[in-house]
Amino acid sequence: MKNIVIIAIALFTSLAFCQKERTLTLNEETNLIDVVYYHDNGEVSQTGSYTTDGKLQGQWLSFNEEGEKIVTAYYKEGKKVKKWVYIIDGKIKEVDYSKNVASI
């Protein structure tokens, strides 16, 4: 179980930095930068927001190349928070982050 979670976290993290195409929009109401990353085939890869100083903030969603949601994650000022949900091989796995530490 821990190995699956570690692989999923590594996948999610690497996806954030490997995408070639993205759109950025300043949300004036929240003062966050909303971003959408795309797979090479044009499907959405990830959606989420950054603070204006570059920290991940709020809900982030990750999708596979077929457009199916595979990760729901949450950040607060760059730190992992709340319950993250991974869909791996059709099974739901949850990791609860408390004080930026995973508990399975």
Q: Outline where DSSP puts E strands in the chain.
A: 21-27, 32-38, 44-50, 56-63, 69-76, 79-80, 82-88, 91-98, 101-103
Q: Is 90 exceeded by the pLDDT of residue 82?
A: yes
What φ, ψ does residue 12 adopt, rounded to 5°? -60, -45
Looking at the whole model, is its pTM more than 0.85? no
Tens of pLDDT, residues 20-56:
589 999 999 999 999 999 999 999 999 999 999 999 9
Q: Is 70 exceeded by the pLDDT of residue 104?
A: no
